[in-house]
Structure 1
Amino acid sequence: MKVPQAGAVAAVIVLALTATGCTGEDEDKGTLSIGIKFDQPGIGLREADGTYTGFDVDVATYVAKELGYKPDRIEFKQVYSNDRELLLQYNEVRFVVASYSINDKRKEKVDFAGPYFVAHQDLMTRAGDTSINKAEDLNSKSLCSVTGSTSAENLKKNLAPKAGLLELASYSDCVVALQDSRVDAMTTDNSILAGYAARKGNEGKFKLTGQTLSNENYGIGVKKGDKDLQGKINDALRKMVKDGSWEAAVKKNFGPDYKYEPAPAVAAVS
């Protein structure tokens, strides 16, 4: 029996590792790819210095730790609302933590761990405006939201059909329009609005009206059929709530005035 030379053995090992690395499993690559939003203060934001902040970032980092990944082994990837399912289906990320509301249509394409947070559609106005206290008050006002958002559709269709609607490319653009008095209010999930209101430089400029115009249960999206990962993430979320890390992350990211609901019960894997 001929004994392989050391160089040949090394080559075989390299080939084996290379083949293993092509499976799409992040564990083999030494990193964990997680999809987050890059443009939502308080939720998921890529700061100017390249760091990441927000409640979803804290949740993702905690879950990664429970899965055995230190922060320096996490690779955050930007996701948009319309490509979250595709990134999971094509293994671009292992899971998505991106203000990702659980609904039946999405559950046809992905599985969800959680929920880990309950948000509600709300309104944000300038701090000194006392004329808007409920959705119907917008019938004689102007409103900003993101183009094609379900929040704007819900308000225009069901709550304030006479409101003037300005649709812009991002919520950041709406914040600027609100600050410059080009609109009277903006609407989306209260968690997102609270993040903008609490952001450094915005303190005292805006206020939330405290509406509950919809219920949004945020979940962590995983590839359809990955029950093992779904179950492990659920265990991590339960632990995060139990040890106080969840509540601490809420208070840190949304400011002291944000009225939040207790952590929702994590659903069983089905």
Structure 2
Amino acid sequence: MRATVCIVASAIVLAGCSSTSPFKPLRDPVKLTIGVPVDLPGVGMKTDKGLHTGFDVEVARYIAARLGAAPDGITFKGVENRAAAATMIADGAVDFVVANVPMTSNNKNLDFAGPYFVAGETFLVRTDNYDIVVPDALDNKQVCAVKGTTTAQDVIKRFDEPATTVEENSLQDCVLALRKGEVDAVVGDNLILAGFAAEAPNEVKVVSQPFTETPYGVALKKDDKALRAKISAAIEKMISDGSYNRIFDITLGNSGVPVPKAPTVAPN
């Protein structure tokens, strides 16, 4: 008896052959849309060529890879501010946001995985400034903060310093004023200030250990427990396999700020 030869071509099974294929079909590739900063050097920037770079961006890429997305399956969308992040999530414009959003946010429509970084308030000064090394060394200094925030006033009040507050429309404007010598210091989160220091290490530097703590989390839609658990697991893996340190080094290592202690991921 001659053996029956089965030929499978172009996914068509010829008559007389088994319809059971030994090959499993590829699963649909994961596609993710992620909100990230686009105007913070070292943290989240979009270049003139449309490339996204920075600490938050690399954290987002790592998480997306752990969730099964290939590089070409990731779409980044710019997040202008923390309020915009909440709107983008609520509208379904993004799957999640990695854009220095505090887990302390009281927005009832948001949930958080993480933290992926624990930030703290500190100062950015010019590299030739050796007067401001701790928060209680602000005698007769001009401290810049973003208009509409109370950060600078809170610091001055907390440390009872005779300093003057200068307000600008953005943190970028504050840093520009600092580089021009128009103010003595900029107050802000150490992660973001480290980005500006990495951009211009010969002009500005981060000083003082952070004197507050603000955990940054990956923001996602409320009650999506499955996604939250997956993202938290990805962050834990990022820390345990050394990627957290590597990401900080390649994005912010030029700032002179040492790699901070990795955060402890909150239980789900």
TM normalised by structure 2 equals 0.83
Cα 1:187–1:28 shift into 2, 3 Å: farther
The counterpart of 2:235, out of the listed 225, 234, 237, is 237
* Equivalent residue, structure 2, for 1:228: 226
* Equivalent residue, structure 2, for 1:253: 251
Query: Segments of 4+ in structure 1 off by > 4 A?
Result: 27-30
Does residue 139 of structure 2 align to residue 149 of structure 1? no
* Equivalent residue, structure 2, for 1:128: 128
User: 3-state SS of the aligned residue for 1:149?
Assistant: coil
- Can you give the 5+ residue segments of structure 1 that lack an aligned partner in the other structure? 1-26
Q: Deviations over 1:152-201 (max 9, x none)?
A: 343244235642222212221111100101100001111111111111xx
User: 3-state SS of the aligned residue for 1:70?
Assistant: strand
* Equivalent residue, structure 2, for 1:41: 41
Aligned residues: 240
Q: Distance in 1 between the 2:28 and 2:99 partners?
A: 25
Q: Any conservation in 1 of the 2:42–2:55 contact (CA below 8 Å)?
A: yes
Between structures 1 and 2, the one with greater helix share? 1
Cα RMSD for the two superposed structures: 2.0
Q: Any conservation in 1 of the 2:30–2:68 contact (CA below 8 Å)?
A: no
Q: Deviations over 1:85-117 (max 9, x none)?
A: 1211121111010011111524x3311100111
Q: Deviations over 1:205-246 (max 9, x none)?
A: 112112322101111001001001000101111111122111
Q: Distance in 2 between the 1:133 and 1:244 partners?
A: 31
Q: Any conservation in 1 of the 2:119–2:215 contact (CA below 8 Å)?
A: yes
Q: Which amino acid aligns with 1:180?
A: K
Superposed counterparts of 1:29-178, under 5 Å: 31-79=31-79, 80-103=81-104, 105-106=106-107, 108-160=108-160, 162-178=162-178
User: 3-state SS of the aligned residue for 1:248?
Assistant: helix
Q: Which amino acid aligns with 1:54?
A: G
- The structure with the larger Rg is 2
Q: Any conservation in 1 of the 2:34–2:75 contact (CA below 8 Å)?
A: yes
Q: Any conservation in 2 of the 1:139–1:164 contact (CA below 8 Å)?
A: no
Q: Deviations over 1:5-35 (max 9, x none)?
A: xxxxxxxxxxxxxxxxxxxxxx999731111
* Equivalent residue, structure 2, for 1:204: 202
User: 3-state SS of the aligned residue for 1:50?
Assistant: coil
User: 3-state SS of the aligned residue for 1:204?
Assistant: coil
Q: Distance in 1 between the 2:91 and 2:176 partners?
A: 36
Q: Distance in 2 between the 1:93 and 1:153 partners?
A: 35
User: 3-state SS of the aligned residue for 1:255?
Assistant: helix
Superposed counterparts of 1:4-19, under 5 Å: none
TM normalised by structure 1 equals 0.83
Q: Any conservation in 2 of the 1:135–1:160 contact (CA below 8 Å)?
A: no
User: 3-state SS of the aligned residue for 1:186?
Assistant: strand
Q: Distance in 2 between the 1:153 and 1:222 partners?
A: 32
* Equivalent residue, structure 1, for 2:214: 216
Q: Any conservation in 2 of the 1:112–1:230 contact (CA below 8 Å)?
A: yes
Q: Which amino acid aligns with 2:32?
A: L
Q: Any conservation in 1 of the 2:125–2:185 contact (CA below 8 Å)?
A: yes
Q: Any conservation in 2 of the 1:120–1:189 contact (CA below 8 Å)?
A: yes
The structural deviation recorded for 1:139 is 3.9
* Equivalent residue, structure 2, for 1:264: 263
Q: Which amino acid aligns with 1:88?
A: I
The structural deviation recorded for 1:124 is 0.8
- Can you give the 5+ residue segments of structure 2 that lack an aligned partner in the other structure? 1-26
- Identity across aligned pairs (percent)? 38
Cα 1:229–1:99 shift into 2, 3 Å: same
Q: Which amino acid aligns with 2:97?
A: V
The structural deviation recorded for 1:260 is 3.4
